[in-house]
Amino acid sequence: MKPLALVEAAVKRPVFGCRMCGQCVLHSTGLTCPMNCPKTLRNGPCGGVRPDGGCEVIPEMRCVWLKAVERSRKLPWAEEIHDLRPPVDNRLWGTSSWRNFLTKRDKQTPPGWHVEA
């Protein structure tokens, strides 16, 4: 990892459990990292959430998306949770999302990705 990515990882791993996907969406997911979902879902919870709110795959862990939905509602920009987030660009793993944000690299979506506003 490059120096900036190392700094980012040092800050975000302990706080958010950041996986360094390089295209951070924490802002729109209630400051909850969706890459902690075992299925790495970027657009909401799967149908396997347990009645007690536990994850289908790791029962003792609370569903990441349950937390994301709850937390997002407390934020002034609550509506952003409904954004349709594009697929992960797998080339960006391990790179700094801060840098990718500033260079707008993280806003590049596949040319065929089209969502109605």
Partner 1 sequence: MSKLEDAIAGGRFVLTAELLTINSGGLDAVSERFEPYEPWVDAVNATDNTSAHAHASPVAVSIALKQLGMEPVMQLVCRDRNRLALQADIAGAALHGVENICCLTGDDVTAGDQPESRRVFDLDSTQLLVTATGMARGRYLSGRAIHPAPHLFLGAVENPGAPPFDYRVERALEKVRAGARFFQLQVCFQKELLERFMAEAVARGLADQAALLPSICLVRSTASLRFIDEKVPGISVPPELIERCERAPDPEAECFELACELAEHARALPGVAGLHLISFRREAGIARLCQRLGIPTRVERESRGHGSSVAV
Residues making contact with partner 1 (CB under 8 A): 38-51, 53, 56-57, 63, 65-66, 69-70, 82, 84-88, 90, 110-116
Q: Which is nearer to partner 1, 2 or 91 (CB)?
A: 91
Q: Which is nearer to partner 1, 5 or 63 (CB)?
A: 63
Min dist. Cβ of residue 54 to partner 1 (A): 9
Check: CB of residue 23 under 8 Å from CB of residue 100.
Answer: yes
Q: Which is nearer to partner 1, 70 or 94 (CB)?
A: 70
Min dist. Cβ of residue 5 to partner 1 (A): 22
Min dist. Cβ of residue 75 to partner 1 (A): 15
Question: Which phi-psi region, left, alpha or beta, contains residue 39 (left: φ > 0; alpha: ψ -120 to 50)?
Answer: alpha
Q: Which is nearer to partner 1, 14 or 117 (CB)?
A: 117
Of 88, 33, 91, whose CA–CA distance to 64 is shortest?
Answer: 33
Of 27, 45, 16, 13, whose CA–CA distance to 106 is shortest?
Answer: 27
Q: How far apart are CA 53 and CA 83, in angstroms?
A: 23
